[in-house]
Amino acid sequence: MGGITRRELIAGVAALAATAAPLRARAGHQRGGAARAIQTVTGPLAPERLGLTLMHEHLLVDFIGADQVSPSRYDAAQVFAVVLPYLTAVRALGCETLVDCTPAYLGRDAALLKRLSEASGVTILTNTGYYGAAKDKHLPRHAFTETAEQLATRWTGEYERGVDGTGIRPAFMKIGVDDAPLSEVDAKLVRAAAITSRATGLPIASHTSTGAAAMAEIDLIAAAGLPASAFIWVHAHNERDGAFHARAAKAGAWVEFDGISDGSLARHVELVGGMKAQGLLGRTLVSHDAGWFHVGEPGGGQFRPFDTLFTKFVPALTAAGFTRADVRQLLADNPRRALSGEI
Ligand SMILES: [Zn+2]
């Protein structure tokens, strides 16, 4: 791109990492003075050590549905062999942390993530929570019968004791909703997430395809007494009306444009540029929503790498007038603040 060499690119990204500002410790929305440690798949980490972070990616996904999903549907050794080179490649580009957004009942495999983190040197985060988008295909039966409080007890238990018997603790919640008006079960998932966030400090990343649904979620979160900064609007780029992005960000929520690909560079530069022009860069997150090993497809199907953000998007931002500080804010400071519960 634009004559920039790979060597210059890597030097630039490395300089971004090296100049990351020291964390000024601030209270999370959880009570207490010091910033909460981030629970990575390999153990707790100080938030300022997350570094350059991809906020929304997937290493493995199984779309078969909650009633059939199972680790027996894939060979973990094969997945490990397929995925590792992509992590090694993005680590070489300067990426330090990858947030894996595959929830329970869609193939969340924390033990596999831990092995991949150890082998690649990329810090990986996993999640608790349930995904109510896609017309509830990925919700377990008990999500319909239990109360928000009961679901929150399950998710808080995962935060305290780890997921799926691994002892590996989640760093955030991943939920999902269909469009507004929110269905009864979708609204319940948001309320359960708010209860869990109040107990644990975990942020709530929610797959949300429209601005109307995002605003409904933000209202529920406010009604539960949480700051909107506990909420990450996942897939915000799918909403065409930019007024929703500004409204959500001004309310204090995180607005995540996580569809970066070769074909969407201009659109994502425009989206992030619009936020900057309105003074809302401090509420903006970016990522690819790329990957992954597709369970059920031969060899895991077509894996989309995690490199476009580093090799093409950052140079495109620079060409559009973004400063190094702006880029560092997007890739390091904002993820750290969103994940550590800084208001
Ligand atoms: Zn995703």
pLDDT number for residue 12: 60
Instruction: Output the CA 303–ligand 1 centroid distance in Å.
Output: 14
Q: Are 332 and 55 in contact (CB under 8 A)?
A: no
> Which amino acid, 85?
P
pLDDT number for residue 272: 98
Instruction: Output the CA 242–ligand 1 centroid distance in Å.
Output: 21
185 contact partners, CB below 8 Å, separation of at least 6: 132, 136, 139, 143, 144
User: Rounded to whole angstroms, how far apart are CA atoms 253 and 237?
Assistant: 15
Instruction: Output the CA 280–ligand 1 centroid distance in Å.
Output: 23
Q: Are 131 and 139 in contact (CB under 8 A)?
A: yes
Instruction: Output the CA 56–ligand 1 centroid distance in Å.
Output: 6
HSE-CB at 17 with a 13 A cutoff on CA atoms is 19
User: Rounded to whole angstroms, how far apart are CA atoms 144 and 29?
Assistant: 29
pLDDT number for residue 209: 85
Ramachandran quadrant class, 121 (left: phi over 0; alpha: psi -120 to 50; beta: rest) = left
Instruction: Output the CA 33–ligand 1 centroid distance in Å.
Output: 33
Quote helix, strand, coil % in the chain, to nearest 5.
50, 15, 40
User: Rounded to whole angstroms, how far apart are CA atoms 36 and 270?
Assistant: 33
pLDDT number for residue 30: 46
In the predicted model, residues of the chain with pLDDT beneath 50 are 1-3, 19-33
pLDDT number for residue 93: 97
pLDDT number for residue 238: 97
Q: Are 85 and 98 in contact (CB under 8 A)?
A: no
pLDDT number for residue 240: 97
Instruction: Output the CA 180–ligand 1 centroid distance in Å.
Output: 19
Instruction: Output the CA 289–ligand 1 centroid distance in Å.
Output: 5
